Amino acid sequence: MGHLRLTGWAKRRWSPDQALVRGLMWMGLAFVPLALAPQGEPVAMLGALVVAVVLLAAGGAVVYPFEMDTVVSLSGDRLVATHYGLYNTVSGLGITLGNLATGALWDFVGRHHALWLTWFALAATGLACASAVLALARSGRLAAANVQAAPA
């Protein structure tokens, strides 16, 4: 229910490009509290975790309907299922490689007692994705995506 309200709120206030960029920014920024929370302080860590979960959930709720509409609009309403399949394949590969890289980084920074670096790397990745989408939007490459998001 909150997902629908948040999506509707974003749809009324932002263009699809703005919603994608802002949602991705929220998702990237979600990792910053985890990096900054003092290790060994359970209350601070719990607070950071709650903030991270809220930002990830809100960012995902904002991004998802607009990213699905972007796939449809960029397909030109032709071979939509094929475009979704390609999108899901590329996403799956990205997720797999991202998980492998994050796991390797987690092991490395764990040996060097710098777990905060993993959280900053994840934040930087999210912010880089938001920047890339912003650059695509400003260059006009997402112009076909300026349609209204479907209800979630």
Helix axes 42-74, 2-13, angle to 10 degrees: 60
Least confident range of 107-116, 119-128, 141-150: 141-150
Question: pTM for this structure?
Answer: 0.85
Average of per-residue pLDDT across 5-30 = 92
Residue 152: its pLDDT value, please? Answer: 52
Average of per-residue pLDDT across 14-22 = 92
pLDDT tens digits, 79-90: 989 998 999 999
Residue 7: its pLDDT value, please? Answer: 86
Average of per-residue pLDDT across 9-35 = 93
Shortest CA distance to 48 belongs to which of 21, 24, 29, 25?
29
Shortest CA distance to 74 belongs to which of 62, 82, 64, 83?
83
Q: What is the mean pLDDT of the chain?
A: 89
- The answer, yes or no, to whether residue 63 has pLDDT greater than 50, is yes
pLDDT tens digits, 135-147: 999 988 876 544 5
For residues 80 and 39, what is the distance between their CA atoms, to the nearest angstrom? 47
